[in-house]
Structure 1
Amino acid sequence: MMDSSELAELCQQINDKIFATRTILELRTVANEEDKQNILVKMGKDIFAINGLLDTLETHVFQQQDLLNGLKELEEFFQEDLHDGYHLRDNMPLHMPRKGLQTANTLTQSQQDQVHHVEEQNLQKKPTRPQIREMVYITTEEFESIPQYMKGRMTYSQLNAAVQSINTAVKEKYSIVQQPAKTLTNVTRRLHQRFKDEETKDTKGHFFVVEADIQEFTQLKLDKRFKGMLSMLRHCHRLRELRGAGLTRYILL
């Protein structure tokens, strides 16, 4: 059984249809008058024009949404860089000259001895591990230079999100490669061995990943869309492909 609200809604729908039918009949009567036909034709053209404006507005809204998403991602990158900057500021070595502080000429003898001691310790340290290379993010100018057939519906923010994922895979992989063997777990030991097996004389001195690394360390899907991203990154000289032994190695440039 219908309650009162459902019955009222049904009555309203019936009344709306009756009103619409009555309006159509009245318009048909008016349309038979020649002087009114020109007005109806003009109204029809105005309606089509309004529909076109609404389509244009909708397109701009979607573009602004993509731009907003890109700005949010850039803000996250900025916050990470800001955090790193604060960390560097708060952990500056004692021997590094600082603006507004004492110079070597005004330091006391004990302070100079302390600086020399720190410098000697730094010289005696074992060579540091090579810094893990990361892919530089795509600029807006570079993105605009990519041919449209290659970009398709890919947005600027989506392409840089792929750059970030590949950088994550590179950092995770080489943090294991550079890890001392005695600190490896069973899982990382297997990964370490696979990484070594995939190296060739052509990859020596370079940082690279394969699709298995991307699957292991990121949520990036290795589908047709991913292949398109790789083409754009090659176009922007961010990486190159090296094939061999059944593998495709993506080498960072």
Structure 2
Amino acid sequence: MSELEDISHHIHVRISSLQCMLDLSVVELPGNKIKKVGQELFALDRLLEEFEKCVIHQKERLMHLKVLKDSLQTDLEDVQHIMDNIPAHIPRKKGPDKYMKGRATYDQLNAVVQSINTAVMAKYKILHQSLKSLNSNARKLHQRFKNQETKDTKGQYFVVEDDIREFTQMKVDKRFQGILNMLRHCQRLRELRGGGLIRYMLL
């Protein structure tokens, strides 16, 4: 409202100036004073036009803010309704019971997950480096990694069994394969097959 206040102040100043001149009109005013009164009236008219424009602008802003307030109020009510009606637990789709052969401890499961993470970090550390900075062995690995990528792996981090052997001490044996099956059953791991390779992606 500072713009309106400034214009209002100028109007009051002009009106006061005109009032002072009119109070002196009881005596005959010289020509230059009459010209001054005309200039003040013209300036006052311009200020009144600006004031009217500002009032219209402020009314438009007020209407816009009212619409915005109503919209936010509706959104707030929707959010409150959702919060008031969140169930104590979100039901999950129950899949068919499946018997898993073999036994594994949490430590064994976590060890496999850790080995996959280690292989992923080592593999993508090489992929994220420029070829010029790599030695001959790392360049061969870089090319192998690139050859294993497909359109389905775009934007995905994955490893294959050779990566596990390359970067970890984990034995890729039947026990390892059994734990991978458990992780896949628990939806912690996804397999992507193609080109004679099985690509493993942790979820």
TM-score of the superposition, structure 2-length normalised? 0.50
Alpha-carbon distance in structure 2 between the residues aligned to 1:158 and 1:251: 18
Bigger radius of gyration, 1 or 2? 2
Q: Work out the number of aligned pairs and report it.
A: 107
Residue number in structure 2 paired with 1:213? 163
Alpha-carbon distance in structure 2 between the residues aligned to 1:148 and 1:160: 21
Which of the residues 161, 175, 179 maps onto 2:129?
179
Alpha-carbon distance in structure 2 between the residues aligned to 1:215 and 1:173: 12
Residue number in structure 1 paired with 2:116? 166
Tell whether the 8 Å contact from 1:206 to 1:252 is kept in structure 2 after alignment: no
Alpha-carbon distance in structure 2 between the residues aligned to 1:150 and 1:189: 40
For 1:228-249, what per-residue CA distance to the aligned partner results, in whole angstroms no more than 9, with x for missing partners? 1111111222221111111111
Alpha-carbon distance in structure 2 between the residues aligned to 1:195 and 1:212: 10
Alpha-carbon distance in structure 2 between the residues aligned to 1:151 and 1:159: 14
For 1:90-112, what per-residue CA distance to the aligned partner results, in whole angstroms no more than 9, with x for missing partners? xxxxxxxxxxxxxxxxxxxxxxx
Post-superposition offset of 1:252: 2.5
Residue number in structure 2 paired with 1:17? none
Post-superposition offset of 1:152: 2.6
Question: Superposition RMSD on alpha carbons, in Å?
Answer: 1.6
- List runs of 5+ in structure 2 lacking aligned partners: 1-96
Tell whether the 8 Å contact from 1:151 to 1:232 is kept in structure 2 after alignment: no
1:242 paired with 2:192, answer yes
Alpha-carbon distance in structure 1 between the residues aligned to 2:201 and 2:169: 20
Post-superposition offset of 1:149: 4.4
Alpha-carbon distance in structure 2 between the residues aligned to 1:153 and 1:204: 34
Post-superposition offset of 1:151: 6.0
- List runs of 5+ in structure 1 lacking aligned partners: 1-146
TM-score of the superposition, structure 1-length normalised? 0.40
For 1:117-170, what per-residue CA distance to the aligned partner results, in whole angstroms no more than 9, with x for missing partners? xxxxxxxxxxxxxxxxxxxxxxxxxxxxxx894263311111101111110000
Secondary structure of the equivalent of 1:194? Answer: helix
Which of the residues 144, 158, 169 maps onto 1:194?
144
The aligned runs of 1:49-88 (5 Å cut-off) are none
Alpha-carbon distance in structure 1 between the residues aligned to 2:174 and 2:190: 18
% identity of equivalent residues: 69
Alpha-carbon distance in structure 2 between the residues aligned to 1:180 and 1:152: 44
The aligned runs of 1:1-253 (5 Å cut-off) are 149-150=99-100, 152-253=102-203
For 1:66-94, what per-residue CA distance to the aligned partner results, in whole angstroms no more than 9, with x for missing partners? xxxxxxxxxxxxxxxxxxxxxxxxxxxxx
Alpha-carbon distance in structure 1 between the residues aligned to 2:184 and 2:106: 15
Secondary structure of the equivalent of 2:163? Answer: helix
Alpha-carbon distance in structure 2 between the residues aligned to 1:244 and 1:200: 9
Alpha-carbon distance in structure 2 between the residues aligned to 1:150 and 1:157: 18
